[in-house]
Amino acid sequence: MKKITSIKTRITIWYTTLMFILIVVVLSLVGGLSYQLSIDSIEKNVVLQVTQVTEKLSRRQPGVFEIVGNKEEFKNVSIYENDGKYIVGQYNYDIANIPFEEGIPRRENIAGKDYIVYDKSTPGPPGRHGGFWIRGVESVSSTMLLGRSAIIIMLIIIPLILLLTAFGGYYITKRAFKPVNNIIKTANDISDQKDVSRRIEIKPDAKEDELHHLSVTLNKMLDKIENLITQEKQFTSDASHELRTPISVILAQGEYLLDIAKDEKEKELAQTIVDKSKQISKLVSRLLLLARIDSRRQKFNKEKVDLGVLIDIAVQSTKELASQKGILVFSNIPEGTIVEADESLLLSAITNLISNGIKYGNKSGHVAVSASKLDNKTQIVVADNGVGISKEHLDKIWTRFYRVDDVRNDEYGSSGLGLSMVKSIISLHGGTISVKSSPGNGTEFIIIL
Ligand code: ADP
């Protein structure tokens, strides 16, 4: 059976069950008690009537037989001869066969019906040769009415009360838990859209209960987190910006040194300066781009872009790297595949994926770029038959500065920022990117725009 996970449903079931038990217990107690009281009063009444008639008989009061036969107050009493022969009173055929028994009122069941029976013998007036039996009989069935009405109440009222309890309770808990839904929604919005500026909605007239305090506290915490993130982004952005000029100067000086180098040793040193400066420059540009996208300051010029042309440019720009590794880069884009995108951003994303395919490709391998239309979307696939990525790294490769193999990647001046930049660019376009890979067989990046 499926476990009930909703707190609202669990609470509702819990107190509806409790309410049911409570009603049944209370009604049973009240019903049982009133039933017992009715029996007691019947017994008392029967004993009283029998005692009064007995007294009248023993004192030889005239007209006793008439009283018993006609008076309403003695309607439950009958008088019998000592041998059980009926004389007067309420002649009950069912009861008549029950042997007489002196003692306390007792319960007799005749033909499925309950009766209270009380017998008393009296010698009768002085001078009479035989005594009498006085019998009082009253049906218990009338008292059953009380029990029956309790049952009817139970059958009609209990379901009604329970229905009311369940609906009312569910409605109240649903209202009480509404802030929790707001909290869940905001948390989901923040994690889905990566937008920490979202806050839990708090109505001005909301009751100041525990959940209200929780919402206020969480909003305060989000303020702090947003502040910290903004500061961190600002720092990255400022630092990258400040680094750009000195790096350009170092690069220019390095290139100058390379030009005037007198021997191989100096050339080698100058080349290192140039290579490392280019590497730092690339890293700083990526950091700056990421910081701009994060803070929504990145300019985004959406226009109609011919994908075939854009991918041709990307392939051309990676040609040198590809030929160094003897890797063949080819593309297959149906003519007239147009996408709405920021041309330079999409170009740098796809160039990055192709470069990765080359960097992590095997000698004489290949990188294939293809595109196809899916409904009103465009799918771009960059696939290689290189080293591949093992499962444990697959979902971490989008993390900033994450590199699968530090040593291997160092030879290409890897930074671990490429894929996070690609992902940010594709998200900025409202698209998605995913990866499939099998170690030793290659990797496939799938963009959907
Ligand atoms: P890097 O600058 O290190 O290439 P990326 O963010 O582009 O940074 O890639 C992160 C890591 O993912 C890389 O270090 C590499 O190990 C792995 N990777 C990326 N693309 C591929 C690919 N096509 N084949 C195999 N591994 C890849």
416 CA distance to ligand 1 centroid (A)? 7
- The ligand 1 atom nearest the CA atom of 352: 7
Side-chain-side CA neighbours of 234 within 13 Å: the count stands at: 6
- Whose alpha carbon is nearest atom 13 of ligand 1? 403
Question: Whose Cα sits closest to atom 1 in ligand 1?
Answer: 416
Which range is least confidently modeled, 3-12, 131-140, 348-357, 369-378?
A: 3-12
DSSP-assigned letter for residue 223: H
Read off the pLDDT band of 257 (50, 70, 90): very high
102 C-beta neighbours (distance < 10 Å), count: 9
At 92-143, the pLDDT tens digits run 656 667 888 888 899 888 777 888 999 998 886 666 667 888 899 888 875 5
Residue 21 φ/ψ, nearest 5 degrees: -60, -45
Any atom of ligand 1 within 6 Å of the Cβ of 443? yes
Q: Count CB-CB contacts under 10 A for residue 53.
A: 26
The pick from 325, 381, 385, 389 for probing ligand 1's pocket by mutation, whose C-beta has the most ligand atoms within 8 angstroms, reads 389
* Cα–ligand 1 centroid distance for 276 (angstroms): 19
Confirm whether pTM is higher than 0.85. no
Q: Of 343, 341, 344, 356, nearest to 417 (Cα)?
A: 356
Q: How far apart are CA 185 and CA 19, in angstroms?
A: 33
Q: What is the pLDDT of residue 241?
A: 84
Return the CATH fold of 7-167. Answer: Beta-Lactamase (3.30.450)
Evaluate whether 194-298 and 303-448 have a shared fold: no
Spatial distance between the Cα atoms of 136 and 51, rounded to a whole number of angstroms: 9
Structure tokens at 147: 């029990």
- pLDDT for residue 298 is more than 60: yes
**pLDDT tens by residue, 265-289:** 999 999 999 999 999 998 999 888 9
Instruction: Measure the CA–CA gap between 136 and 76, rounded to whole angstroms.
Output: 5
Cα Rg, the chain, nearest whole Å: 49
Please tell me the distance from the alpha carbon of residue 163 to that of residue 425, in angstroms, as a whole number. 55
Q: Is 81 helix (H, G, I), strand (E, B) or coil?
A: strand
Task: List the beta bridge partners of residue 339.
Answer: 305
CA 440 to centroid of chain Cα atoms: 42
How many Å lie between the centroid of ligand 1 and the Cα of residue 405?
9
Single-letter code of the amino acid located at 270: A
**Best mutation site among 406, 410, 419, 438 for ligand 1, i.e. most ligand atoms within 8 A of its Cβ?**
419
| Token output for 85 | 């022969």
Q: How far, in Å, CA of 36 to CA of 399, rounded?
A: 78
From the alpha carbon of 361, which atom of ligand 1 is closest?
Answer: 24
Query: Mapping DSSP to helix (H, G, I), strand (E, B) and coil, where does residue 135 land?
Result: strand
Report pLDDT digits (tens) over 174-232: 888 888 888 898 889 888 877 788 898 888 877 788 888 899 999 999 999 999 988 88
Q: Which among 360, 424, 445 is the best mutation to test ligand 1's pocket, defined by most ligand atoms within 8 Å of the CB?
A: 360
Q: Could you identify the residue written with the tokens 């994450």?
A: 402
How many residues in the chain? 449
Classified as helix, coil or strand, 343 is: helix
Which CATH code of 3.30.360.10, 1.10.3720.10, 1.10.1060.10, 1.10.287.130 fits the domain covering 194-298?
1.10.287.130
SS3 state at 231: helix
Give residue 443's pLDDT.
96
Centroid of ligand 1 to alpha carbon of 435 (angstroms): 11
Q: How far is the CA of 376 from the centre of ligand 1 (A)?
A: 30
Q: Is the CB of 351 under 6 A from ligand 1?
A: no
For a ligand 1 pocket test, name from 287, 396, 403 the mutation site with the most ligand atoms within 8 angstroms of its C-beta: 403
The enclosing H or E element of 131 equals none
Q: Ligand 1 in contact with 433 (CB < 6 A)? A: no
| Adjacent-strand bridge partners of 161 | none
Helix ranges, 295-327 (H) = 307-317, 319-325
SS3 content of the chain, % helix, strand, coil (to 5): 55, 15, 25
Question: In the structure encoding, which two tokens stand for residue 333, read together?
Answer: 């884009």
pLDDT at 95: 66
Q: For residues 117 and 135, give the distance between their C-alpha atoms in angstroms, rounded to a whole number.
A: 7
pLDDT of residue 363: 86
For a pocket test of ligand 1, which of 279, 290, 397 has the largest count of ligand atoms closer than 8 A to its C-beta?
Answer: 397
Name residue 304's beta-bridge partners: 340
Q: What percent of the chain has pLDDT over 90?
A: 39
Under CATH, which architecture does the 303-448 domain have? 2-Layer Sandwich (3.30)
Indicate the helix (H) or strand (E) that contains 338: strand 338-341
How far apart CA 51 and CA 143 sit, in angstroms, is: 23
Q: Which atom of ligand 1 is nearest to the CA of 388?
A: 25
pLDDT band of residue 155 (cuts 50, 70, 90) is confident
404 CB near ligand 1 (under 6 Å):
yes
User: Residue 372: pLDDT above 70?
Assistant: yes
d(C-alpha 266, C-alpha 278), whole Å: 18
Q: Where are the domains of the chain?
A: 7-167, 194-298, 303-448
The side-by-side arrangement of strands in the sheet containing 328-332 is 328-332, 366-374, 377-384, 442-448, 432-438
For residue 427, give both structure tokens. 């998200």
Q: Is the C-beta atom of 133 inside 6 A of ligand 1?
A: no
pLDDT > 70? residue 407? no
Pocket of ligand 1 contains residue 403 by CB under 6 Å: yes
How many angstroms separate the alpha carbon of residue 334 from the centre of ligand 1?
A: 28
Average pLDDT, the chain: 86
List beta partners, residue 330: 368
pLDDT tens-digit map of 62-96 = 777 777 777 777 888 888 888 888 888 876 656 66
Strand, coil or helix: 300: coil
Tell me: pLDDT of 414 over 80: no
